[in-house]
Amino acid sequence: MTSPFFPNGEDDIADAIADAVRAGDTLAIVGGGSKAAVGAQTHARALSLAGLTGIVDYDPAELVLTVRPGTLLSDVQALVANEQQMLAFEPFDHGPIFGSPIGRATIGGVMAAGVAGSQRVSSGGARDHLLGFRAVSGRGEAFVAGAKVVKNVTGYDLPKLAAGSWGRVFALTELTMKVLPRPRVLATRVIAGLDDEQAIAAMAMAMGSQAEIAAAAHLPSYDGTALTVFRVQGFGPSVAARCAMLETLLTPIGRVEALSEDEAGRVWDDLRTLRPLGTTQPLWRINIAPSAAVSVTTALAPFGARWMLDWAGGLIWLVLDADVAVVRDAATRAGGHATLMRGDETLRAAVPAFHPGQPGLVALESRVRRAFDPAGVFETGRF
């Protein structure tokens, strides 16, 4: 494997792409490498954007932040926290999922992987917060899309393609994101002892209520106990009123208790690091309609699966050693899709990370990728 290429800017990236196209090589775009173990191993030369760092523009009152892709996620989060703001899609560092420490994830990386935390269910995903970008396409051309204002419909919404593209369409060189005020108060309420079905019903009730739940998750075995957690956040009087509302609503299902700040912090943190699921078994990320989640967990439980439900049941994090086909079957039958997020090299070489799609959709997606990358310079075989 050749050494990574560290461009200093768009011209360098264009050069690297031109060289690769001419030589018939491919380039693997990387940020901090915190998610390098997702997808098949590739021998493509790495095009590292880790050196493109820094804040380009941040105007808290406009709710708009422009940064270079190699900027560390932790730096971006510290910057906006200092202004009492947040990235509302709650991006997180995947390091711990692969047994590595936190600290390598870059903002370009989390955006390219479409990473969103528990708050995704109420505040939107990475896609909903990328307003604009600069990038170099597989044609070696720098271009812009979107804009630096929060409301814009001028031209195609290419930022949506960037979020979750895993470096397969273009190399981002600058990202403009929407930022939002950080809630002043966070409160977590918990019900212990529910099974999956009861938990899904409780979460559906809560999400459909006027309690404005920010996040809802179910951990079937948390230190031996099933926990269903609800996060309420905002201004003090509002949080108090909504917690009371939630308690009245859910008491018929089970006893609603408050978690201390420390306890709550630990639970929500564990939903990001996936600590309860360990770091060794193959890990799946299953996106599904919440009401279909139980059909998936019920189908996979006999194979020894263990899981946690986030996004009110719309996201299943699941570990399982058994045949991968059962996972994809269960997800397909339930109308969702399963992404292989972690596995050994052999498994990742044999099983595509992304759920196989319908042929027409796959062909269309491939044409869209080719629109930006006609020579397939970013098609490294990783996905």
Partner 1 sequence: MSLVMPVPDAGTLARRSEIVAALRAIVPGEGVIEDAESLRPYESDGLTAYRQPPLVVVLPETTAQVSAVLAWCHANRVKVVPRGSGTSLSGGALPLEDGVLLGLGKFNRVLDIDYDDRLAVVQPGVTNLAITRAVEDRGFYYAPDPSSQIACSIGGNVAENSGGVHCLKYGLTTNNVLGCELVMMDGEVIRIGGRHLDPAGLDLIGIVVGSEGLLGVVTEVTVRILPRPETARALLIGFPTVESAGQCVADTIAQGIIPAGMEMMDAPAIRAAEAFVNVGYPLDVAALLIVELDGPVAECDHLIEEVAAIARANGSVTLRISNDEQERTAFWAGRKAAFPAVGRLAPDYYCMDGTIPRRRLPQVLERMAELSKHYGLGVANVFHAGDGNLHPLILYDANQPGELDRAEAFGNDILRLCVEVGGVLTGEHGVGVEKRDLMPVMFSEVDLAHQQRVKCAFDPELLLNPGKVFPQLHRCAEMGRMHVHRGQVPFPDLPRF
Min dist CB 363 to partner 1, Å, is 9
> Please, which of residues 17-56 interact with partner 1 by CB under 8 A?
17-18, 21-22
Residue 231's nearest CA partner among 254, 263, 255 is 263
Compute the distance between CA of residue 272 and CA of residue 267 in angstroms, rounded to an integer.
Answer: 9
Task: Give the one residue of 53, 58, 63, 102 binding partner 1; rule: CB under 8 A.
Answer: 63
Interface segment toward partner 1; rule CB under 8 A; list 36-44, 45-53, 98-106, 153-161: 153-161
Rounded-to-integer distance, Cα 30 and Cα 32, Å: 6
Taking CB under 8 A as the criterion, the residue among 28, 30, 37, 64 binding partner 1 is 64
Q: Which is nearer to partner 1, 34 or 165 (CB)?
A: 165
Annotate each residue in 180-209 with x if it binds partner 1 (CB under 8 A) or - if it does not, as one string.
xxxxx----------------x--x--xxx
Per CB under 8 A, which region of 97-105, 238-246, 249-257, 266-274 contacts partner 1?
238-246
Asked if 284 contacts 320 with a C-beta cutoff of 8 angstroms, the reply is: yes
The DSSP 8-state label assigned to residue 97 in this structure reads G
328 in contact with partner 1 (CB under 8 A):
no
Between strands 225-234 and 185-192, the pairing is antiparallel
Q: Decide: helix, strand or coil at residue 106.
A: strand
379 binds partner 1 (CB under 8 A): no
| Per-residue binding letters, 241-280, with partner 1 (x by CB under 8 A) | xx--x-----------------------------------
Taking the complex as a whole, the smallest distance from the CB of residue 25 to partner 1 amounts, in Å, to 12
Q: Between 72 and 318, whose beta carbon lies closer to partner 1?
A: 318
Task: Give yes or no for a contact between 173 and 107, defined as CB atoms under 8 angstroms apart.
Answer: no
* Chain centre to alpha carbon of residue 183: 21
Which range binds partner 1 by CB under 8 A, 71-79, 96-104, 285-293, 342-350? Answer: 285-293
* Residue 81 found at the interface with partner 1 (CB under 8 A): no
Cβ atoms of 112 and 172 closer than 8 Å: yes
326 binds partner 1 (CB under 8 A): no
Site for partner 1 in 353-372 (CB under 8 A): 354-355, 357-358, 360-362, 364-365, 367-372
Per CB under 8 A, does 173 bind partner 1? no
Q: What is the 3-state secondary structure (H, E, C) of 261-330?
A: HHHHHHHHHHHHHCHHHCCCCCEEEEECCHHHHHHHHHHHHHHCCEEEEEHHHCEEEEECCCCHHHHHHH
325 forms part of the interface with partner 1 (CB under 8 A): no
- The DSSP-derived string for 32-84 is S-TTTTSSS---SEEEE-TT--SEEEEEGGGTEEEE-TTSBHHHHHHHHHTTT
